[in-house]
Structure 1
């Protein structure tokens, strides 16, 4: 009788198990490759915006060409010329083209701002300044702009941007008063009718945006806004007598604005979830 060594028996049994396992594995289907993660861009589509802010406005000093022609002076010196700060509010609709370019159309109302100025005049032939005038008027605007912006990259959710815009400004001047406060032998008050003008307007922007969520971004920005010229209607003396063609001109109306805005994305990217992995045995 042939006797098999125990080691040989163990080896044969182990080899048989490996062969059987390999045969079973060959019958199983091959697993599909893992799905590639889908990268969802955080840009694209339409958005709405709203802004509020405060203005720091400037202009040239008031001028009256007809009055200067009739009563020329040897010297006119402005001692004070300033607007009170005023609020503004605006809305708009825009489109984000890609991660660095967007554009919008905005409209805003700029609240009433009072101007106060003071000058002194040396009349022709006078040895010294012999007249002082205080000027007051109120100013409001409606502004519409088409704007474009460049987003300069995002760090920790913060995106610096620059931009420019062009459009129109409808400027209204009212409650104009010219008060003669010092003049030998004469004092008085003149006032003028309200008037409105529509001018070309342009703007420059710089600021920071912060993405709160895929649907909402906040902005803190600076804007330089040039709104063209304004002016009054016909000028009257205190007794109601018209000054004829006397109309005051206020040139180069511009503003340094600080504003806070919100942008609501109307087409926020939907999250993409990988489907479950399944197989049949």
Structure 2
């Protein structure tokens, strides 16, 4: 049996050589070689992501707050979707970097304050010049922002195609306050603000998990704490033009963001299939 197998293998090798020579005599091209790469030979990647932004505001203020004892008892920016893209570079198996840009959709802003009124002597006496009634303000606006960050990540090792990582980024946030309205019901007054956009230094810290679906495709689930800085409206004017103030300031906007992304690596090809085994009887 062993002698028969040796004869068959020898004949197969001989026929392969004869076939190759015959093909060359006929002017036929040789069969193409297998693709040279296995895995990815480029460190560059593209990424896209979507997510939910959950912002928080520390406080609000205006120049009017210097004239009376204002008490802010509510302020909030509602959650909104975010969408982003980026391009990155995998330095080695541990470190990578990318630049991202994202749009954070219109988010509703609400705030309320109240003040006791004043005549300059902690008494409400409207016969005194400059005195004003107590009241309460209800503010509403739309908040819109663009964020650009340069990010660095540390990949903490890969197990069963899953790679946990941590990271951080610095960049800018451009925040627009649009359509601000200030309603003071006790004093029958409504103020409207001009739209305004403010650009700030921004930063964030990341934690996430990446899953390698193929050598070229990675799914990415991450959390980011983002500090966007401050925002402010334009000048705020009464509906009857009787008075105005400089702006409403929305101080220290931060956000807890949850994102799902996809990374696509350049220059990737899959592993080559193994040749079918030859069975001998």
TM-score range, shorter chain: 0.7 to 0.9
Q: Report matched runs for 1:169-208 at 5 Å.
A: 169-182=173-186, 186-208=187-209
Indicate the RMSD between aligned Cα atoms, in angstroms: 2.5
* C-alpha displacement of 1:231: 0.9
- Tell me the residue number matched to 1:140: 144
CA contact (8 A) 2:38 2:268 kept: no
Match of 1:9 in 2: none
The offset of 1:78, in angstroms, is 2.0
- Structure 1 residue 267 displacement after superposition: 2.4
- Supply the distance in 1 between the matched residues of 2:84 and 2:143 (Cα, whole angstroms): 17
Change (3 A) 1:267 1:241: farther
Q: Distance in 2 between matches of 1:170 and 1:110?
A: 10
- Normalising to structure 1: TM-score of the pair? 0.75
Give the Å deviation of 1:40.
6.4
In the alignment of these two chains, the number of paired residues is: 230
Aligned pair 1:108/2:102, yes or no?
yes
Bigger Rg, structure 1 or 2: 1
Superposition pairs for residues 59-138 of structure 1, below 5 Å?
59-65=57-63, 67-69=64-66, 72-73=67-68, 75-124=69-118, 125-126=122-123, 130-138=134-142
Name the counterpart of 1:246: 246
Q: Deviations over 1:198-252 (max 9, x none)?
A: 1111111111111111010001110111111111111110113451x52221121
Gaps of 5+ in 1: 1-38, 276-281
Unpaired runs of 5+ residues, structure 2, are 1-36, 125-132, 276-281
Q: How far does the alpha carbon of each residue in 1:176-208 deviate from its partner, in whole angstroms, 9 at most, with x for none?
A: 1111133xxx22111110011111111111111
Q: Which moved more, 1:247-256 or 1:188-197?
A: 247-256
